[in-house]
Structure 1
Amino acid sequence: MKLIRTVTLPALLAALSLPALAVKVGVITAATGPGASLGIPYKNTFAALPATLGGEPVSYIILDDATDPANAARLARKLVSEEQVDLIIGSGNVPTASAISFVASETKTPQIALSPLTGEPAKNPWVYSVSLPTTLQVGALAEHFAAAGGKQMGYIGFSDGWGDQAYGALMEHAAKRGFQVTTNERFARLDTSVNSQVLKVIGSKPEAVMLGVSGTPGALPHTALVERGFKGKIYHTAAIVNPDFLRIGGKAVEGALVAAGPVIVAEQLPESNPVKKQGLEFTKAYEAKYGAGSRNSFAAYSWDAYLIADRAVAAARRKAKSGTPEFRQALRDALEQTSELAGAQGVYTMSPTDHAGSDKRSVVLLRITNGAWMLNK
């Protein structure tokens, strides 16, 4: 005998009126520790975003990893096991983002890193990076140095994964451009002196120095170089583009050349630049929340992570319900199909072999002029 269920009209209406299941996004950044000058802006963006993601209600669970890779991994596991998040966004430093990536891979949870990760997608297909790839940043600096006839460049960087990554990219581009890297000096993020490293770099007689640093600790070797009388060019990556670096570095960092995403000079970009529109939209939304002049590069990467996730969630929800392994798989697949998405910091196209997706349209060369970021012309 077949059992036939009947549904009354009031019950049907009640079911239809139930709120949609929210997409859960775990956000891990460094609100404390040496990476806080980056992590706080990354975090702040989520309070300025719409209340939906891909047309679904969204819940952001925001945690502080204190710039500690072990803590970042622990928090990622907590988000997956206790909160059953559909997506992890973070973290804002290479060592912490890398630690999260192992958890993402193991638990099959999509991750959008806010710092550049160089892992091979074939080995870890669950991890994407929205930040400007290190090789593009350093390539722009190397091109500028070589075009001016430079032959010898010194290097000082953090004694961690970010320092290694920046140095590796510099060596790669030095070989391509035909100049020599004279030093490979390192220091810890919490060090208060780099005098010995700076003296070794100056002693190698380079025409320029590149610093593989980030945030406010990045001002330390720069000011030390200037104080010791170094007169050559000093190059930086996008990892120092925040107001605290300018405040701490002061006059010592004037004239520094920085390869960065374009949002910080959105108004200075030509109308033909594909990222100008989103750059200005991000600036309007962020400054409406945090005040005039609060715009920064790191917050803009969170904005771009949102834009990428928004499109991917819209595609994934047509295949599965949030909160399920099927949804996470569909979301991962949709992220990989991102194509020509213009954000505030670049144009993103992902593929099975490229989970960063940025190209040369995502990098500009800045010069610090009168305590401000200016497009180098």
Structure 2
Amino acid sequence: MSIVLRSPHRKAALALTAATLILAGCAEEQGGGDEGTPEETGPVVIGAVLDITGAGASLGVPERDTLELLAEQLNADGGIDGREVELIIEDNASTEDGAARAINKLITEDQVDIILGASRTGPSLAMRPVAESAEIPMISLAANQAIVDGSEWVFKTAQNDSVVIENIVADAADKGYSTLGLARDASGFGEGVEELFNSIGEEFGISVIATESFAPDATDFTAQMVNIRDAGADANIIWGIPPAAGLAQVAYRQLGIEVPVYQSHGIGNQVFLDTAGAAADGLVAPLGRLVVRDQLPDDDPQKEVITAFADAYEAEYGAGPSTFAGHAYDGFQLAVQALAEAGTDGQAMREYLEGVTDYVGVSGTFTMSADDHSGLTAEDLVLVTVENGEFTLIES
């Protein structure tokens, strides 16, 4: 679908305008492109490929909503240097083939200037070679570090799986755990997770002793959870996204497993809480600060940014934003900054993104480089539990 926003009317969008403009200046200033050149006229075209339907819908729908809100508010303020922003969103139906087709369309037919997406790792990996070949900047909203490893043209806003695992391993070490059981998503999101746990855990004497996998759209987790229970690890990890991660959590509790359980950063939305219900209480997960925004201290450097975004989102949609909406927020803001500073030249935008320093976003504070196209660290996550159906910050 194509979304062109010319006549903004949303009060929430207007309210967010000032905050967005202030935040756009949080990245370190870099050399901008020439203004007024013939190439820098007409609309700026931002393309997005999202998991709006299928297994990743609980990620892609709030991401779509976020992009629409931000694009409309940006046009309300005059666009980018007076140029209208055209936002074109494609649904990949949560498939790799769909993502590859969508990015090809955006590049060849729509001639977009920069691309956001996809929502999940597998579709993002399918898009990567297309973006690299076309030499067009792409900002993924997904987690797996493989999306950006060795990449020249692909960046990302979700925290890498490696920094999530650093947080889990550190907490496990503090609690004296040495063995872990792992039930992981069988898609790209779960690829390499066992290996990362063993690599990062080695210095702490922590290792995975049992691994089970499940499809992203699975509904029955009994077999996997029985095997995880029987392995007898000190603690277990469920690594997936809703609704599967929530259903797996329910199966875990229904089997009466009393061993402590961790979840990944893939659970940061209301869909997980609604699906897991009371079974979620007591779990531990490293999540972005957005889901516990009301519990953050006033001096937290992200609180102002997160609060402004969450208030505008809730005013527009009647519910608070998820972690995944935050990834879309950061992707859009980074894209707009690159376009404003470097124009629509792909190489100039790529170089700008590699030089982003101390950009305070919703997902964390980004500092990128030629060797790091993610820009986030373990400090950009906080440990969270669930109490009475709500995410609750674990005090350090």
Q: Does 1:196 align with 2:219?
A: no
Provide TM-score, normalisation by structure 1.
0.89
Give the Å deviation of 1:199.
Answer: 1.2
Q: Is the 8 A contact 1:208 1:232 kept in 2?
A: yes
Match of 1:266 in 2: 293
Match of 1:33 in 2: 54
Rounded to whole Å, the distance in 2 between the matches of 1:331 and 1:346 is 21
> Aligned ranges for residues 1-377 of structure 1 at < 5 Å?
20-49=41-70, 50-52=73-75, 54-55=80-81, 56-119=83-146, 123-291=150-318, 293-317=319-343, 322=344, 327-377=345-395
Give the Å deviation of 1:122.
Answer: 7.5
Question: Residue 112 of structure 2 aligns to which amino acid in structure 1?
Answer: V
Q: Is the 8 A contact 1:121 1:353 kept in 2?
A: no
Deviates more, 1:114-123 or 1:54-63: 114-123
Give the Å deviation of 1:153.
Answer: 1.1
Rounded to whole Å, the distance in 2 between the matches of 1:364 and 1:165 is 23
Distance 1:70 1:199, change over 3 A: same
Give the Å deviation of 1:120.
Answer: 8.0
Give the Å deviation of 1:162.
Answer: 1.1
> Over aligned residue pairs, what C-alpha RMSD do you find?
1.8
Question: Residue 219 of structure 2 aligns to which amino acid in structure 1?
Answer: T
Rounded to whole Å, the distance in 2 between the matches of 1:54 and 1:209 is 48
Rounded to whole Å, the distance in 2 between the matches of 1:181 and 1:119 is 21
Question: Residue 44 of structure 1 aligns to which amino acid in structure 2?
Answer: D
Deviates more, 1:187-196 or 1:331-340: 187-196
Distance 1:193 1:282, change over 3 A: same
Rounded to whole Å, the distance in 2 between the matches of 1:183 and 1:217 is 19
Distance 1:122 1:199, change over 3 A: closer
Give the Å deviation of 1:339.
Answer: 0.6
Give the secondary-structure state (helix, strand or coil) at the position aligned to 2:131: helix
Q: Is the 8 A contact 1:54 1:312 kept in 2?
A: no
Bigger Rg over Cα: 1
Question: Residue 44 of structure 2 aligns to which amino acid in structure 1?
Answer: V
Q: Is the 8 A contact 1:95 1:161 kept in 2?
A: yes
Give the secondary-structure state (helix, strand or coil) at the position aligned to 2:145: coil
Rounded to whole Å, the distance in 1 between the matches of 2:314 and 2:348 is 34
Provide TM-score, normalisation by structure 2.
0.85
Deviates more, 1:306-315 or 1:223-232: 306-315
Give the Å deviation of 1:54.
Answer: 4.3
Question: Residue 306 of structure 1 aligns to which amino acid in structure 2?
Answer: F
Give the Å deviation of 1:74.
Answer: 0.7
Give the secondary-structure state (helix, strand or coil) at the position aligned to 1:51: helix
Question: Residue 342 of structure 1 aligns to which amino acid in structure 2?
Answer: V
Question: Residue 146 of structure 1 aligns to which amino acid in structure 2?
Answer: A
Give the Å deviation of 1:220.
Answer: 2.2
Q: Percent identity?
A: 28
